[in-house]
A = this chain, B = another copy of it.
Amino acid sequence: MFRKILIANRGEIAVRIIRACRELGIKSAAVFSDVDRNSLHVRLADEAYPIGPAPSRESYLNLDKLMHVARRAGCDAVHPGYGFLAENPALPRACTDASLTFIGPPAEAMEALGSKTAGRSLARGVDVPTVPGTNEPIENPEEARALAQRMGYPVLLKAVAGGGGKGMRLVSNDEEFHSAFRDASSEAMNAFGNPSVFLEKYLEKPRHIEIQILADAHGRVVSLGERECSVQRRHQKVIEEAPSPIMTPELRKRMGDSAVRIARAGGYVNAGTVEFLVDAHYNYYFLEVNTRLQVEHPVTEQVTGLDLVKLQIAIAAGHRLPFAWESITPRGHAMELRLYAEDPENNFFPSPGKILSRRAPSGPGIRLDEGVYSGWTVPMDYDPLLAKLIAWGNSREETIARLRRALEEYTVTGIKTNAALFRRILVEPDFLRSEIHTKWLDEMLKRPLEGKNADSRAADVAAIAAALWHALRETAANTESSEKSSRWKIDGRDRQLDRTP
């Protein structure tokens, strides 16, 4: 087993990996950019090293600096997390050169499966259906536009590298095509350092269902079942669940087998995810392979009881997967909500800033994977994911009930979060019946939010609280000038805080 693992990432996923290392008795070495010195992953890791200024290109995407730290800290393995360099073949190659073990697939498998275009042709090769579209990166936008017209709108423009909805645009007519193309490729360039995008026919109301696979270095490839991720905002997953409400054992078997075939064909090793679109008639189409750990891996962990990060490490260390897992069955139902620092009332604009207070939900069936703490300032330089709220229950209904309950307990002040979005989704009849698709949320958000403040009691209480707040602050003021005395008041409170009783 490894002695020390370099975690080439930040935020909640770095914390997640640190926890796995600690439970395995492996030392963890974190890295941090200038704005991340105070971040939770730095506080929790066994070791932490600076790697430069805030911009990702000069820190978390800087291969040389990462390798330098790995050597300096005496690491023997590297875990990339997700995003940043996780799907960049240069990282596993650099690891090999530095005789470090990369905890993920070999560079070749990344190239064979990672780029969407390569993955699609490989899938066709093993008789897995794919969505019609260009098989190659778009060289000539004008030709692409013409093809789009022939296939018929709407079409999707997608970044060849990466995922997470970045560098992706839905184009519904000829006029939009070129500006959409510009946005997509510039966003792709910024996010993945690669501007190429390709074209894909847009299916009506498809569901996004993906298969989690594990492959060891000894030829065993197993499917850990599916996750449904159809609730997306602008192609960005916001809710994931397992099992999929529409799944049948027969369909699970077929999709699992397809995923395993693709992984084998690509010579895949370690944890990976094969994404599919499923249409109204339960036809499924291969979408892409994510050659890394997924943000939403916890829902699979909750229903299988397995720890995917520990398994990634074990596989990288050459361990064999137990035979039994070829027929693993999920237990109960799990669902994940992605809590972002963004303002649902203002077009979901990112809302970085200082977290003034925070109450985390807990109790039966609740798991919180987060990378923040009260008093920490969310930097504006990175993805605004604050936390993943995960619930497990015996049924989908119980799981949803637990999430609703947990959301009532979860409070963050100082920054905006999208918690209100979930309070709304989790009572939507379509969602409760699971009559959803990848555009469902965008459509829901177009509908006006009626009766948001329906609870008149809440308004009463708010009015009283507002008056009370002034009353208290002014009472303080009566002793001296408002400014001064309220300070003294606060000061008094705070002096207590500096003492133990």
Residues of A whose CB lies within 8 Å of any CB of B are: 15-16, 19-20, 22-25, 44, 298, 301, 305-307, 331-332, 353-354, 356, 359-360, 362-370, 373-374, 392, 394, 398, 401-402, 404-405, 408-409, 413-415, 487, 490-491, 493-498, 500-501
Contacts and interface: CB of A to CB of B under 8 A. Distances in A.
Given A307-B364, A364-B367, A398 B23 contact: yes
A235 to B, nearest CB: 28
Nearest to A398: B23
A501 B398 contact: no
B360 A496 contact: no
Nearest to A19: B363
A363 B22 contact: no
Nearest to A297: B364
B490 A494 contact: yes
B353 A373 contact: no
Given A24-B401, A360-B362, A487-B495, A353 B394 contact: no
Contacts of A364: 16, 19-20, 298, 301, 307, 367, 369
B354 A501 contact: yes
Contact of A491 (B20, B368, B487): B487
Contacts of A44: 409
A466 to B, nearest CB: 15
The 6 closest A-B pairs by CB, nearest first: A353-B501, A23-B401, A362-B368, A22-B405, A490-B494, A19-B363
Contacts of A494: 490-491, 493-494
A391 to B, nearest CB: 10
Nearest to A400: B23
Given A331-B331, A491-B490, A362 B359 contact: no
B356 A497 contact: yes
16 contacts: A15-B363, A22-B405, A24-B401, A25-B401, A298-B364, A307-B364, A307-B394, A356-B500, A359-B373, A362-B369, A363-B369, A374-B374, A415-B501, A490-B495, A491-B491, A493-B494
A487 B332 CA distance: 54
Given A19-B405, A305-B331, A402-B23, A501 B414 contact: yes
A319 to B, nearest CB: 14
A34 B214 CA distance: 56
A497 to B, nearest CB: 6
A407 to B, nearest CB: 11
Nearest to A353: B501
A354 B496 contact: yes
Contacts of A413: 500
A189 to B, nearest CB: 30
Contacts of A404: 22-23
Nearest to A500: B414
Nearest to A501: B353
